[in-house]
Structure formats: C-alpha cells, structure tokens
Amino acid sequence: QVQLVESGGGSVQPGGSLRLSCATSGYTYNFKFMGWFRQAPGKEREGVAAIYTRNGGTTYYSDSVKGRFTISQDNAKKTVYLQMNSLEPEDTAMYYCAADQWLSARYALAPGTYDYWGQGTQVTVSS
C-alpha cells in the first residue's frame, strides 16, 4: 500500500522559512514525478513545485513561488523536500505531497494527474 506522509508545516511570520518533507513507502521504486501542491480555503488546489526524480532531477515551479521555494529529493530515503523561504501571507494553505509514475512533464504541476496523495500539512504565514 503506497503511503505519502508530509511533515514540517507550522506557523511562521512573513519573511520566514519552513522546510516540508514527504516520505513515501509501499512502492518498490522511486516515483518518476513528485510534486507539492497547496490549497487555501475557498480556492482550487494548485501546483507549487515538482521534480522529475530521474537523471539529476528536473524541477518545475509555479510563477508565484519561483525563486523562493526549492524542491529537492533524497532517493535513498524516498523523500522529497520543499524548502520555502521568504514566506508571504499568500502562501498560507494546506500543502500536499503527490506522486505519480506515469505522467508527462507537461503535467508536472497539474494536480489532477497525480495518482497518490498525502494527507497534507498546514502552513500559516501571519504576523
């Protein structure tokens, strides 16, 4: 049974940093794509960052987080991280980790294309 478990969320002041982790289990190999998504109350789920886990790890970012967030992987630990710097109140949301073995790169930030999801971790940015 595939499981994705996120951790690292919390409350932080604007300008602060958080590091989210997503540990996967129940799958023999590393998933081809891992992504981070977020959903704020009353809004649709949106793609934040994704990584192609093979061949050095091509990364993908939404315009809203580019330059502030960094996605990385530890294949030995089957874990993906999201380092979030210069956090803004607009970054407040539930953050979800997702994994997929088959999607194409053009859909790396499309939430509807991922097969496996974690339970989410809350990030609140407020003064």
Q: What is the pLDDT along the chain (127 residues), one digit of tens a residue?
A: 899 999 999 999 999 999 999 999 888 778 899 999 999 999 999 999 999 988 778 999 999 999 999 999 998 888 999 999 999 999 999 999 999 998 888 999 999 899 999 999 999 999 9
Yes or no: say if 93 and 123 are a contact pair by the CB < 8 Å rule: yes
Measure the N-to-C terminal CA separation of the chain; round to a whole number of Å: 40
∠ Cα 97 118 86 (to 5°): 35
3-state secondary structure of 79: strand
Rounded to whole angstroms, the Cα distance separating 59 from 75 reads 15
Task: Tell me what pLDDT residue 112 has.
Answer: 87
